[in-house]
């Protein structure tokens, strides 16, 4: 019983919140709202999956939100410049990948701690985004095919949910079912031992941080298509939310360790709480307070699990 | 007895809640004074009418703003009022509200075919008033410094209008211009940027134009720290509010004038219009024929500041 609560306690708490909302929050359980919640989870979940990969290799990526914003303005700027949108999408993905790769190379080659590196690249990405836009958002000229990436539905289900499902499923498969995923985990848990066992730990860290950049690029394209605009700092809010989702995810399924299933559930809990608080008519500042409590609570839970494991 | 009273109280509250008109308010960035002034005015006016009000904050993030509007639609509010929204970016959410039959009024946001109208001041006119006042104060010749903000539509328009005015008055030159980039730490940004310009120009400027009052307050403090006194440099800005009026009246402050935008009045106008349309069933045309409900912005300087102080 204790083991079950340790593994699934957060998910069960999330379920309890869900039940409370179904009972007390008007329209919460409607199909339209549940679809809405899943759609709202999509950007956060996609970004958080990438952050999870960085964290699996024991590296922090505090730049993913700013890299996402930069990729978004590159994508938007190219489309507004008359370049075919598929090329703009590829450019956004390239920006995300390059940002992640750069983080990885600086961390592993120049031996700069990832906290410092990614804080630096976040600032650089922010500066470039403002340089490209002059602070002005790209709005108002989008190809219908491009907008469909973020706004269309298949059988009534927003396409964003499919993108999220694909990224989460792929992330779970890579982290759990591939040799690379296992090597990344080994790198994150005992780097020296992994290196002695022949694992290319530096490469795993580069891959982890690059994956974080790639998902930032994917989220950027979907954000631009969904909001029909591209602005510097447009993904800024996802930094804290993304970290919260991953930390919350570390308290369940594989307690103390970053894991994709946990991250997805964490992102879902955050989206459900955000939606539920509005449906309950809670004041706006309560959302920030709840998010802060989640971050502190999940870190303390993860830390206590890790401490017990070490004993 | 207690139980009976409590049950009766709950029943009464529930009955009132069920019948009260409910308005959802979303401020794009509650940390911005002007956004908060509109949202707070809407909340106060709606409560005066006995309505239920849900006030939300988008923290200046585009995705969060979209989510907040979507959540209000799911909550099934009777009307939505948005402070400083972005109709082009959120056309999908606006259309969703229209489809759900929820009347939507925006304040200082721009027009949308899916909103009833936008409560607005004419930013071009506001910009012209401030620019001409400044030029008048320096006798239409000499150097000025400018502090801009390009990420906001209103402040950007004010800057563009200043440029137009300057293009017709070539005896006035811009000795230095700083454009505020960061939104989270903008005060530091303004302080650093303007301090550098002041040092570069070593007192060789007659006036300073700031795109909004918050910037002017920082600049005012910098000038005061340099030992300058009212009239040494003409400092002009836009927005209004009690702090601006206090400084205009204060002999120790260098702020000479602002163009007062009636944010509180705009919030109240939005609520009154919502009542007429959504509660009394009057046609939108009874309020305004076009996409805007214009309010007057008044230039406030030493000559009329007493009328605004303590209002």
- A2: in domain: no
B155 CB within 8 Å of a chain A CB:
no
Which of A27, A103, A266 minimizes the C-alpha distance to B77? Answer: A27
- B177 in A contact zone (CB under 8 Å): no
Mutate to test the interface with B, among A22, A135, A229, A270 (most CBs of B within 10 A): A135
Looking at per-residue pLDDT, the higher value among A307 and A29 belongs to A29
Choose among B24, B152, B202: nearest CA to A27: B24
Question: Is ipTM beyond 0.95?
Answer: no
Please say if the pLDDT value at position A158 is more than 60: yes
In A, which residues are within 8 Å of B67 by CB distance? 40, 274-275
Interchain proximity A139–B55, CB inside 8 Å = no
The answer to whether A137 contacts B89, with C-beta atoms less than 8 Å apart, is: yes
Helical axes A2-24 vs A285-310, angle rounded to 10° = 170
Domain extent listing, chain B: 22-119+263-285, 123-260
| B23 → chain A, closest CA residue | A281
The CATH number of B123-260 is 3.40.50.2300
Distance from CA of B95 to the nearest CA of A (A): 13
- CA-based nearest residue to A122, from A43, A239, A208: A239
Count of helix runs (H) and strand runs (E) in chain B: 10, 12
| Whether A137 and B76 lie within 8 Å, measured CB to CB | no
The CATH number assigned to the domain holding A218 equals 1.10.3470
End-to-end, the C-alpha distance of chain A in Å comes to 20
- Higher pLDDT: A285 or B145? It is B145
What confidence score (pLDDT) does residue B12 get?
Answer: 41
In a domain, A285, yes or no: yes
Of A26, A32, A229, the CB nearest to B62: A229
Q: Is A148 among the domain residues?
A: yes
Query: What is the distance in angstroms between the Cα of A178 and the nearest Cα belonging to chain B?
Result: 34
Return the DSSP state at A137: P
- Contact, A85 vs A79, CB < 8 A? yes
Tally of CB atoms within 10 A around B15? 10
Chain A CB contacts of B193 under 8 Å are none
d(CA A238, CA A246): 12
Mean pLDDT of A251-272: 92
Q: How far apart are CA B57 and CA B35, in angstroms?
A: 10
Q: What residues does B208 pair with on adjacent strands?
A: B145, B235
Task: Note whether A29 contacts B: Cβ–Cβ < 8 A.
Answer: no
The percent of residues in chain A predicted with pLDDT above 70, rounded, is: 96
A3 assigned to some structural domain: no
How far apart are alpha carbons B37 and B50 in whole angstroms?
20
Class of domain B22-119+263-285: alpha beta
Query: Taking Cα atoms as reference points, which of A249, A245, A248 lies closest to residue A262?
Result: A249
pLDDT for residue A311: 53
A283-298 mean pLDDT: 83
Q: Given an 8 Å threshold on Cβ–Cβ distance, is A278 in contact with B149?
A: no
- Chain A residues closer than 8 Å to B60 by CB: 233, 236
Residue A177 falls inside a structural domain: yes
Q: Are B64 and A237 within 8 A, CB to CB?
A: yes
Q: Give the residue from B22, B39, B23, B21 showing the smallest Cα distance to B31.
A: B39
Distance CA B206, CA B163 (A): 17
- Secondary structure of A227-295 in HEC code, one letter for each residue: HCEECCCCCCCHHHHHHHHHHHHCCCCCCCCCCHHHHHHHHHHHHHHHHHHHHCCCCCHHHHHHHHHHH
A280/A96: higher pLDDT: A96
Would the CB atoms of B67 and A40 count as touching at under 8 Å? Answer: yes
Evaluate whether A34 touches A242 at the Cβ level (below 8 Å): no
**Alpha-carbon gap, residue B49 to B194, rounded angstroms:** 45
Please judge whether A284 and B57 are an interchain contact, meaning their C-beta atoms are less than 8 angstroms apart: yes
d(CA B276, CA A143): 39
**Residue ranges of E strands in B192-266:** 207-210, 234-239, 255-260
* A3 lies within 8 A of chain B by CB: no
**What does the alpha-carbon distance between residue A307 and residue A291 come to, in Å, rounded to a whole number?**
24
Contacts of A46 (CB under 8 A, 6+ apart): A163, A164, A167, A168, A215, A218, A219, A222
CA distance B71 to chain A (A): 6
* DSSP secondary structure code for residue A114 in this structure: H
Write the pLDDT tens digit of every residue in A66-115: 999 999 999 999 999 999 999 999 999 999 999 999 999 999 999 999 99
How far apart are the C-alpha atoms of B219 and B224, rounded to whole Å?
Answer: 9
Q: Using CA atoms, how far apart are residues A288 and A167, in angstroms rounded to an integer?
A: 27
Q: Phi/psi at B73 (nearest 5 deg)?
A: -65, -45
Q: Residue A16 has what pLDDT?
A: 87
DSSP A57: T
B277-286 CB contacts, 8 Å cutoff, 24+ apart: B277/B103, B277/B116, B278/B21, B278/B78, B278/B79, B278/B103, B279/B21, B284/B116, B284/B117
3-state secondary structure of B54: strand
What does each C-alpha distance from B233 to B208, B218, B257 come to in angstroms? 7, 14, 12
Residue A220 and residue A73 in contact, taking contact as beta carbons nearer than 8 Å: no
Cβ neighbours, 10 Å, residue A108: 20
pLDDT of residue B1: 45
CB contact B70 to A (< 8 Å): yes
**Structurally, how many domains does chain A consist of?**
1
pLDDT at A133: 87
- How far is Cα A17 from Cα A24, in angstroms, rounded to an integer? 10
What are the pLDDT tens digits along chain B (311 aa)? Answer: 444 444 444 444 444 445 689 999 999 988 888 899 999 999 999 999 999 999 999 988 899 999 999 999 999 999 999 999 988 889 999 999 999 999 999 999 989 999 999 999 999 999 999 999 999 999 999 999 999 998 788 899 999 999 999 999 999 999 999 998 766 678 889 999 999 999 999 889 999 999 999 999 999 999 999 999 998 999 999 999 999 999 999 999 999 999 999 999 999 999 999 999 999 999 999 999 999 999 999 999 999 999 999 76
- Would you tell me the crossing angle of helices B33-48 and B263-274 to the nearest 10 degrees? 40
In a domain, A288, yes or no: yes
B56 touches chain A (CB under 8 A): yes
Q: B36-64 burial, b for 16+ CB within 10 Å, e for fewer?
A: bbbbbbbbebbeeeebbbbbbbbbbbbbb
Distance CA B262, CA B14 (A): 36
A189 touches chain B (CB under 8 A): no
**A and B: number of Cβ contacts within 8 A:** 97
Q: Which run of H or E residues covers position A13? A: helix A2-24
Residue A84 lies in a domain: yes
Nearest-angstrom CA–CA distance, A34 and A40: 10
Q: How far apart are the first and last CA of chain B?
A: 48
Higher pLDDT, B37 or A26: B37
Q: Hey, are the CB atoms on B71 and A274 less than 8 Å from each other?
A: yes
Give the Cβ contact number of residue A98 at 10 Å.
Answer: 17
């Amino acid at each position: 019983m204790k083991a079950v609560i340790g593994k699934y306690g957060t998910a069960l708490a999330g379920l309890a919140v869900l039940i409370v909302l179904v009972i007390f929050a008007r329209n919460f359980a409607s199909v339209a709202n549940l679809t809405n919640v899943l759609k709202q989870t999509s950007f956060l979940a996609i970004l958080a999956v990438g952050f999870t990969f960085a964290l699996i290799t024991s590296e922090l990526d505090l730049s993913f939100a700013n890299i996402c914003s930069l990729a978004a303005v590159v994508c938007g700027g190219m489309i507004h410049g008359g370049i075919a949108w598929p090329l703009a999408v590829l450019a956004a993905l390239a920006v995300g990948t390059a940002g992640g790769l750069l983080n990885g190379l600086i961390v592993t080659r120049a031996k700069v701690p990832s906290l410092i590196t990614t804080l630096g690249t976040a600032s650089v990405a922010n500066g470039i985004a403002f340089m490209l836009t002059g602070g002005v958002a790209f709005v108002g000229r989008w190809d219908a095919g491009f907008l469909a990436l973020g706004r269309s539905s298949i059988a009534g289900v927003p396409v964003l949910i499919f993108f999220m499902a694909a990224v989460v499923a792929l992330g779970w498969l890579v982290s759990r079912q591939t040799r690379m995923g296992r090597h990344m985990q080994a790198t994150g848990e005992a780097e020296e031992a992994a290196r002695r066992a022949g694992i290319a730990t530096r490469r795993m860290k580069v891959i982890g941080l690059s994956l974080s950049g790639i998902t930032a690029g994917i989220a950027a394209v979907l954000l631009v298509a969904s909001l029909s605009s591209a602005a510097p700092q447009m993904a800024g809010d996802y930094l804290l939310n993304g970290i919260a989702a991953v930390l919350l995810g570390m308290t369940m399924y594989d307690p103390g360790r970053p894991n994709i299933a946990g991250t997805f559930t964490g992102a879902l809990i955050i989206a459900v709480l955000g939606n539920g608080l509005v449906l309950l008519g809670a004041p706006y500042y309560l959302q920030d307070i709840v998010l802060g409590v989640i971050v502190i609570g999940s870190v303390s839970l993860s830390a206590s699990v890790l401490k017990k494991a070490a004993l | 007895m207690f139980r009976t009273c409590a049950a009766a109280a709950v029943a009464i509250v529930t009955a009132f809640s069920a019948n009260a008109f409910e308005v959802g308010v979303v401020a794009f960035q509650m940390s911005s004074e002007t956004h908060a002034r509109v949202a707070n005015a809407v909340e106060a006016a709606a409560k005066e009418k006995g309505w239920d009000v849900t006030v939300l904050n988008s923290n200046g993030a585009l995705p969060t703003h979209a989510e907040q509007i979507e959540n209000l639609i799911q909550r099934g509010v009777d009307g939505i009022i948005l402070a400083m929204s972005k109709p082009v970016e959120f056309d999908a959410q606006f259309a969703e509200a229209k489809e759900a039959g929820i009347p939507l009024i925006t304040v200082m946001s721009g027009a949308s075919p899916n909103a009833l109208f936008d409560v607005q001041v004419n930013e071009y006119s506001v910009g012209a008033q401030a620019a001409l006042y400044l030029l008048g104060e320096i006798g239409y010749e000499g150097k000025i410094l400018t502090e801009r903000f390009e990420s906001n539509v209103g402040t950007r328009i004010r800057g563009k209008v200043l440029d137009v005015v300057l293009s017709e008055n070539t005896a006035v030159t811009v000795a230095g211009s700083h454009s505020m980039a960061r939104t989270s730490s903008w005060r530091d940004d303004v302080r650093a940027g303007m301090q550098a310009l002041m040092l570069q120009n070593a007192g060789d400027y007659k006036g300073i134009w700031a795109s909004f009052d918050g910037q002017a307050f920082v600049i005012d403090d910098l000038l005061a720290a340099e030992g300058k006194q009212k009239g040494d440099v003409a400092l002009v800005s836009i927005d209004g509010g009690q702090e601006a009026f206090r400084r205009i009246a204060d002999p120790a402050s260098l702020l000479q004038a602002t163009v007062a935008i009636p944010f509180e009045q705009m919030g109240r106008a939005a609520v009154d219009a919502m009542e007429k349309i959504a509660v009394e069933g009057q046609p939108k045309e009874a309020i305004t024929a076009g996409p805007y409900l214009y309010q007057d912005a008044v230039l406030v300087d030493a000559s009329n500041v007493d009328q605004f102080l303590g209002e």
